[in-house]
Amino acid sequence: MTIPFFRDGFALPVAQALLVLLNQEIAKTELNIERLTQLTFNFRNPGYSAEQGGVHPVEIRLIRGLDGWMFDYVTDFSYQGLGLDAELCKELDFNFLDGEHTMLGWGPLRLAEARELFDIWQSNFIAYCRLECFSVTVAGD
């Protein structure tokens, strides 16, 4: 089953490759998206740690609208701090529905900055997925 995306309302430049990737992950599950109102994709690199670094964990949430599925948010996490004080924090947070986009250390981003940064982030993320860097789980409500 493929996700019927609402194509007219993406606030940021979502690549077709990302839509294909999310559809591929849904196809690996037994979720019936016809009965769901939200989907959460968690991409985790088992080797990522505060000490060793690595590919950041990512969470993508979709919600069902009247005309198809829309992106709610895309969040890229990273460890901040050292040793036992390190904690997983939002490094990049793209909130599609409320139009608020932030980067750790910079704060809120203007839409033009967010679009450019999202485009770069998205290209890197898709490349990491193609390299099979992630363990992926999908949950729906």
Q: What is the DSSP string of 1-27?
A: ----B-GGG-SS---HHHHHHHHHHHH
To the question of pTM greater than 0.75 for the whole model, the response is yes
Residue 67 is predicted with a pLDDT of 85
Place of tokens 């139009």: 99
Residue 1 pLDDT exceeds 80: no
- Has residue 26 got a pLDDT over 80? yes
Asked whether the predicted pLDDT for residue 96 surpasses 70, the reply is yes
What average pLDDT does the structure give for the chain?
A: 93
pLDDT for the residue numbered 11: 80
pLDDT at 73 over 80: yes
CB 72 within 8 A of CB 63: yes
Report how far residue 32's alpha carbon sits from residue 36's, in angstroms, rounded to the nearest whole number. 7
At what angle are helices 111-130 and 16-27 packed, to 10 degrees?
A: 50
- The Cα–Cα gap between 103 and 66 comes to 30
